[in-house]
Amino acid sequence: MISLHSQLNTLLATYQPKFIFFSVFLAVITLIISKFFIKRSLFHSSLNYPVATTKLPILGPAIQFGVDGLNFLKNQKEILGSNVFLVDLLILRFHFVLGAKNTQAFYKASNDDLDFLAGVPILLPELVEDAWDVDPTFQARGHALALKGFNQKEKLDFALELLIMEVDKAIDRWDKMDKVNMFEECTRLTILVTLRFILGDKVYNEKGEELANMYDQLEKDLAHPLVMTCRPLPTGPYRRLIHVRNTLLQVIRECVETNIKSQKDDGSFLSLLVKELGPEYWYQYGYLCLGIILATRTNTAGVLAWTLSHLCDDKKLMDKVLQELKSTDSFQEGMGEIGSGGKSYPIKEYTFLDACMKETVRSYSNFMQFRKVTKKGGFEIEPGKVIPEGELICISPAEEHHDEKIFENPFEYKPERWLDQEYWAKRSREMAYVQWGFLRHRCYGEKFAQQFDKVAWARILTKCVLTVENSDQKIPECLWGSGFGTSFPKDDKPYFIKIKKRREGFNQL
């Protein structure tokens, strides 16, 4: 009979190496985690402004930030008694600077002090990777070309042509559907037009639908709380993000290669890049196009969908917009169809529709805008409060747009407030209305986005009748921070409407 002592010796001989390895591994992990939290604590104590806290330590701020970011910021501002505070999400750190004066300081800063492009690899490393480690002249020239590509009349006219074609296709599709998921369809429409505008017809024709779905998922995963707090740990959203990113990059790079070989100018933004910069930066083109398509989607699609949702929800608003569209000179000369009669869409005449756009932007504005502090020694935002060099400084347009001291009844959707030109001018002077940015930090796609949304609204509303699917259906609740531009509704609250072609013609109304 084998003795107990012999059995123990056998077990030890068998499992001791594994036990020792596991013990060492556990000790190393414990040491790494301990060093991380000690370093984190020392960093917090070095700041001369407070750190956001919750009842649940460590993960609490990340959870609340992801679940209800707007209320989280408002509560922290009140609890801490400060417009300046750190939100530490473990992997990412956001130094929020709230209030009108801090917003103005943010926008007035030079690129030597606060730099957007330098901040992208910190917040969105998956969108740039090593593509940013390149001759800095590419960044300057690439983004200068983006400014040109999204603002030249020739390019805007090309974008308008693509938009009208795609809206008409969408209308035909919606007319055959029992109900339309407003936000899904507006996202799909926006991405398809943008893909065609930036990458050209070949990608659009071969993989447009597939890529549209991927881009929608890409932004959701980039803003997912697990990605924001745990990257690069292989969580489900992170693995999905990397897969989608790699697939998109592969398609874009194939398009770049084809474009370089053919030297054919198809009017796309990619053609402009290749023509102006040549094949040298082919690797960077993929990341640049990836980011620009995402940026276009994140702002344009949300504003398009939220506005249509509110018009469907409020008959008085809808009637005002329809009456305005009927009263335009272009409509009268076009015999019932805006945009015909040799005239393009007169978006400058859309006073009330413009007010609706501004109110949508205010109501569902992007949750935060960021820059990297590049000023030596840090950036002093308030007397004695210095954001350290290398950190992300953030403002929150959403928080400012829902400040009762600036906007009366901020949670009410009231486009009429923007019909007062002095009201608009005052908010603009104070930089209190900040969706498009200011000064050197202004969005270079603003003209593209405004043309896109206003023409899409005009064409959809004059060609179709929109009604809510269920009279009891309410405007969906916004999930703040669900995107890097306009925030979207919670996924479990789709907003369905019926979109049917007008049988009687718009001019008969």
Distance CA 88, CA 65 (A): 10
Q: What is the mean pLDDT of residues 22-37?
A: 64
- Edge to edge, what strands does the sheet with 392-395 contain? 84-88, 93-97, 392-395, 369-373, 114-115
pLDDT digits (tens, 9 = 90+) for 250-298: 888 888 888 777 767 788 888 888 888 887 777 788 888 888 888 877 7
Lowest mean pLDDT among 97-106, 210-219, 437-446, 492-501: 437-446
pLDDT over 50 (residue 142): yes
The per-residue pLDDT for 5 is 65
State the pLDDT confidence band at 18, using cuts at 50, 70 and 90: low
pLDDT digits (tens, 9 = 90+) for 345-369: 778 888 999 999 999 999 998 888 8
Greatest mean pLDDT among 100-114, 118-132, 164-178, 435-449: 164-178
Entry pTM: 0.86
The per-residue pLDDT for 38 is 82
Q: Do the Cβ atoms of 483 and 223 come closer than 8 Å?
A: yes
Percentage above 90 pLDDT, the chain: 31
Q: What is the mean pLDDT of residues 67-95?
A: 91
Q: List helix spans (H) across 47-134.
A: 60-67, 69-80, 100-108, 116-123
443 marked ligand binding residue = yes
The per-residue pLDDT for 405 is 85
Q: What is the mean pLDDT of residues 130-136?
A: 64
pLDDT digits (tens, 9 = 90+) for 465-487: 999 877 777 888 888 877 777 88
CATH numbers and ranges of domains, the chain:
48-508 (1.10.630.10)
Cis status of the peptide bond prior to 232, with omega within 30 of 0: yes
Residues 6+ apart with CB under 8 A from 237: 221, 224, 226, 227
| Structure tokens that stand for 279 in this block | 């094949």
Handedness of CA 273, 279, 282, 284 (dihedral sign): negative
